């Protein structure tokens, strides 16, 4: 019998890479999808051979992290071996506009799925992954940030993730659940949502180069981020659930760069000077900013044998190349 995984957020950046990885490993993959007025499956469309063909191992189920009963019913019916909770309102700036909604989905959503695990009776055998975030570190307390660094979130999103993170620890300790949190630093790819800064930049570079865009409006260029490649990070998620004991792990590159440095690398890829195109728009500023993120992934290296391979410049270049190719 193939192992069975259930993924919330399967239509997102990480969900799509994780689905590819698990299908490659022979898993049967079940994903939770939201109903939307336009199709939201662009990132997993290329896998639809696994939905219909002879090797049918990908199954999509309508549901929502806001709907507890559907989660209990699904988990009871599926009896998965592994659950990856990747769904979230994941945009930090937007979380200031919709704090209650962000708390409900990004925070309480994790409570709903953890309770669904207990209620459906699968708690003894299932392994659970929670998508925690470096955004929980927020205001700098320690550099580089590691598993033991105190949290000081700076956004409704960060606060919601702290709630979900501690609840995961609590269910592990209260119910002996095999529950892990991956505290992942920013990870990007050609599948990154277009409103996150790296993808916004790579897409603009491609459009500017092809004469389809003139300017790029951004906010704070001084923030420093530890950017890795999403495809490599989903491997770390999977490895966490294959250990003998559940635990929490930081995944990062241990390098940090400003938004300016990313601009330099992305525009440099097509021999343009970003100063000629980038303009300031205060709408992209946040009421409170996270100034500096740099992660220490030594625990993941030692226990999981996990290493990042793609650093910022290579990442910027592969994203620009992908957007140039997609524009044609």
Tally the C-alpha atoms within 13 A of residue 33's C-alpha that lie toward its C-beta.
21
Query: How far, CA to CA in Å, does 116 sit from each of 30, 77, 214, 217, 218?
Result: 16, 12, 49, 43, 41
* 187-188 and 216-218 strand pairing: unpaired
Q: Does residue 90 belong to the site contacting ligand GDR (CB under 6 A)?
A: yes
Helix (H) or strand (E) holding 248: strand 248-251
Between 74 and 108, CB nearer to ligand GDR? 108
Q: Is the dihedral of CA 45, 51, 52, 55 positive or negative?
A: positive
Residues 253-282 that bind ligand GDR (CB under 6 A): 259
Cβ of residue 216: shortest distance to ligand GDR, in angstroms?
8
What is the total count of residues that contact ligand GDR (CB under 6 A)? 21
Q: Does residue 90 belong to the site contacting ligand NDP (CB under 6 A)?
A: yes
Q: Does residue 234 belong to the site contacting ligand NDP (CB under 6 A)?
A: no
Tokens of 253: 């590159």
Catalytic residue among 28, 82, 135, 188: 135
- The region of 84-92, 204-212, 242-250, 292-300 touching ligand NDP under the rule CB under 6 A is 84-92
Catalytic residue among 157, 233, 249, 297: 157
Q: Is 184 left (phi over 0), alpha (psi -120 to 50) or beta?
A: beta
Compute the distance between CA of residue 75 and CA of residue 13 in angstroms, rounded to an integer. 23
**128 annotated to a ligand binding site:** yes
Q: Which does 284 bind (CB under 5 to 8 A by kind): ligand NDP, ligand GDR, none?
A: ligand GDR
- The region of 41-49, 72-80, 214-222, 301-309 touching ligand GDR under the rule CB under 6 A is 214-222
Q: Which does 256 bind (CB under 5 to 8 A by kind): ligand GDR, ligand NDP, none?
A: none
């Amino acid at each position: 019998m193939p192992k069975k995984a259930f993924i919330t957020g399967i239509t997102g950046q990480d969900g799509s890479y994780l689905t590819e990885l698990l299908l490659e490993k022979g898993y049967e993959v079940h994903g939770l999808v939201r109903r939307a007025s336009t199709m939201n499956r662009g990132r997993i469309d290329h896998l639809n051979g696994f939905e219909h063909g002879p090797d049918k191992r990908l199954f999509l189920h309508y549901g929502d992290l806001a709907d507890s009963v559907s989660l209990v019913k699904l988990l009871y019916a599926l009896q998965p071996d592994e659950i990856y909770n990747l769904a979230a309102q994941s945009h930090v700036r937007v979380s200031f506009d919709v704090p209650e909604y962000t708390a409900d989905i990004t925070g309480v959503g994790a409570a709903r799925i953890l309770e669904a695990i207990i209620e459906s009776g699968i708690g003894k055998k299932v392994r659970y992954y929670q998508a925690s975030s470096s955004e929980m570190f927020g205001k700098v307390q320690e550099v580089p940030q590691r598993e033991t660094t105190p949290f000081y979130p700076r956004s409704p999103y960060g606060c919601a993730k702290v709630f979900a993170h501690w609840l995961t620890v609590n269910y592990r300790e209260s119910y002996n659940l095999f529950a892990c949190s991956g505290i992942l630093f920013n990870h990007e790819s050609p599948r990154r949502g277009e409103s996150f800064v790296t993808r916004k930049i790579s897409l603009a570079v491609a459009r500017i180069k092809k004469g389809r865009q003139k300017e790029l409006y951004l906010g704070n260029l001084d923030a420093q981020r530890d950017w890795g490649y999403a495809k490599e990070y989903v491997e770390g998620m999977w490895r966490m659930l294959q250990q003998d004991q559940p635990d929490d792990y930081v995944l990062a590159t241990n390098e940090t760069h400003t938004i300016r440095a990313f601009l330099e690398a992305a525009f440099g890829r097509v021999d343009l000077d970003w100063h000629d195109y980038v303009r300031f728009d205060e709408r992209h500023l946040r009421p409170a900013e996270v100034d500096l993120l740099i992660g220490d992934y030594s625990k993941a290296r030692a226990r999981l044998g996990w290493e990042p391979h793609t650093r910022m410049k290579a990442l910027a270049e592969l994203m620009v190349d992908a957007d140039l190719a997609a524009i044609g």
